[in-house]
Structure 1
Amino acid sequence: MSDVSDVVQTFRDAVGREPEGVFSAPGRVNLIGEHTDHNEGHVLPFAIDRRCRVAAARRADDVVTVRSAQEPGDTVTTTLDALTAARGWSAYVLGTLWALREAGLPGAGWDLVVAGDVPLGAGLSSSAALECAVALAVDELSGAGLDRHALARAGRRAENDVVGAPVG
């Protein structure tokens, strides 16, 4: 369940409308420097052919719904004021939204459906791919125009401050 048509169909089925866009980010492998990024060390990563995709649409209220194509029926619904209370897989998504708001992104509700084929827990940066895809979606659809470094920092803050993972 990882190509664009699959995540679009999952979005349609779950949300009842078309997504405004589908955004993706690849997993990655580090040739050298694994775990030195935590301490601002040097790394040599490269993208792989596995991706995380996010189908997204804005909402007119402050509600955020997040669904995973890999976890049918597991819908997380919250508000913009409760993003940091997230736990489990949705903490990566909601933490990224929180970090983007902290960086000045305008507040808005979202419907998000995530899907991907980056293996979880295999050292291929599946969480970073998810956070980057979410950040790209929200930045693009909100028209904020944050630079790529700000989007990457939002993913890092999500993992450090919401998920509690010491990533770099």
Structure 2
Amino acid sequence: MEGIRKKNAISKSKLVFMVLLAVLLLIQLVRPQKNTSDSPAGKAFVDTFQVSEQVNAILAVSCYDCHSNNTKYPWYSEIQPMAWLMDKHVKDGKEKLNFDELPSYGSRRLNSKFTQITKQIEQDKMPLTSYLWMHGGARLSNEDKKLLVDYFNSLMDNE
């Protein structure tokens, strides 16, 4: 009797494992659309607002993946459910701020965006901690923060 129970328990655990494996394989077939564009990330912003190479380099590493129309996708974004999570982060990020759309904004909306950007940087809310786990190079140093805040403040003074 004991042997039959063990055999049933093993059979049930194998069945659960097989179902989970099948689900994992099936969800690989459902892919979100990638956030890609023919234009390099931030190009319209750089061209319109005369962004220095140093500021643009910081933005490219720390901001453009989630806040532009062109995301660089790491290897793990090909595996579900990571692709769905990344897709949500990018959509949320672009909804709040899209550097590629900033040139089309009026001066009042631009000033609001620039104020929000500086607050997010000063309060260490951007880049997101969850982004920094896999993109340590995106972490902003104090010098990076000062450079970005000074740059965006200078844009507000000119608007």
Task: Indicate whether the TM-score tops 0.5.
Answer: no
Q: Which has the larger Rg?
A: 2
More strand by share: 1
TM-score normalised by L of structure 1 = 0.27
Q: Which has the higher contact order (CA 8 A, sep 6+)?
A: 1
More helix by share: 2
